[in-house]
Amino acid sequence: MSTLNGKRALVTGASRGIGKSIALALAAEGADVAITYERSRDKAEALVAEINATGRKAFAFQANSADPQAVKDSIDQAVDALGGLDILINNAGIFQYGPLEALDLATLNSVVDINIKSVILASQAALPHLPDGGRIINLGSVLAERVPMPNLSIYSMSKAALIAFTKGLARDLGPRGITVNIVHPGPTDTDMNPADGEGSDAMRDAIALGRYGKTEDVAAMVAFLSGSTAGHITGAGFAVDGGYGA
């Protein structure tokens, strides 16, 4: 049974990895989907073709998530292409690690602009278009609440900020029946964090299930929260981490 028939969704930063799997999962449940990408145009266009082949509508728009105007424009483009917007998935983000004493201002600004400000701005721009009962889902990190290794302070800070934003916005939008939740991926096999990459063995040892997650694992949670059966879930966080944070 398709749970999102007739729904229209935007997934930011979705040309690859977790974002791509989210877009595919939403389309599989019946939604028409728009995505944003920064540089991977070929991958974005291939994803659009893959979704269109299933009978759903798909669109891709180039947007630098560090650029406030580009973030706002991408919402307008998605609304125009889809004929409206029911679901916003704030997935775009960057991973930055290293000792605080080596952090330069440009790097700090990039983390704040992309991981925090773009989520706020996209949500703000989407609000006039979201109907009562709409959905906003933010992508956080299992490192937002527990930091088990050094040199992650800035990244963890940026994802922790999204927890407070999610809870506050859930309160704000509750009267309209719009739910706002956050999904926290753990170690997930992507090109940014491959299951066979440097340090992966130590990370795998900390996962209760003993294996890296798949992007589809995270996408399944996002698809569930996007559907009608999750209508009484808001302001909540969900770890999809194989027990990494247990």
| Residues with a known catalytic role | 155
- Spatial distance between the Cα atoms of 38 and 12, rounded to a whole number of angstroms: 10
For tokens 């790097």, the residue is: 107
For 236, half-sphere exposure in the C-beta direction (CA atoms, 13 angstrom radius) is 12
Using an 8 Å Cβ cutoff, are 11 and 181 in contact? no
Residues 6+ apart with CB under 8 A from 220: 25
Alpha carbon 46 to chain centroid distance? 20
Using an 8 Å Cβ cutoff, are 177 and 132 in contact? yes
Using an 8 Å Cβ cutoff, are 204 and 186 in contact? no
